[in-house]
Amino acid sequence: EIGIPDTIPGEGQAVTPEEARRAKLRTFVAAARRVESWVGSMDGSVSMGPFRRFVFSRIKDLSLIHISQ
């Protein structure tokens, strides 16, 4: 499911065991995904899109400066 759901788990009723399992799986997948991959999907087919230019590149450059000190 992509996009904003009509209702979120726990809204109007208790979270079902199936919803809890799905949430844990999504959390695991998100934790296992590399940031570079996420940035690429946010930018779409643009190689140097806004997420890569304004978010990822700046954080990466600062982290490399920090590591080299």
18-62 pLDDT, tens digit per residue, is 999 999 998 898 888 888 888 888 888 888 888 899 988 999 999
CB-count burial class (<10 Å; 0-12, 13-18, 19+) for 40: middle
Assign 67 to helix, strand or coil. helix
Write out the E strands in 1-69.
none
Determine the Cα–Cα distance for residues 38 and 61; give it in Å rounded to an integer.
18
Is the model more confident about 29 or about 17? 17
Is the model more confident about 36 or about 2? 36
pLDDT of 1 higher than 60 = no
Of the chain, the end-to-end C-alpha distance in Å amounts to: 43
Phi-psi region of 49 (alpha: psi -120 to 50; beta: other; left: phi over 0): beta
Question: What's the whole-model pTM score?
Answer: 0.46
Q: What is the mean pLDDT of residues 65-69?
A: 89
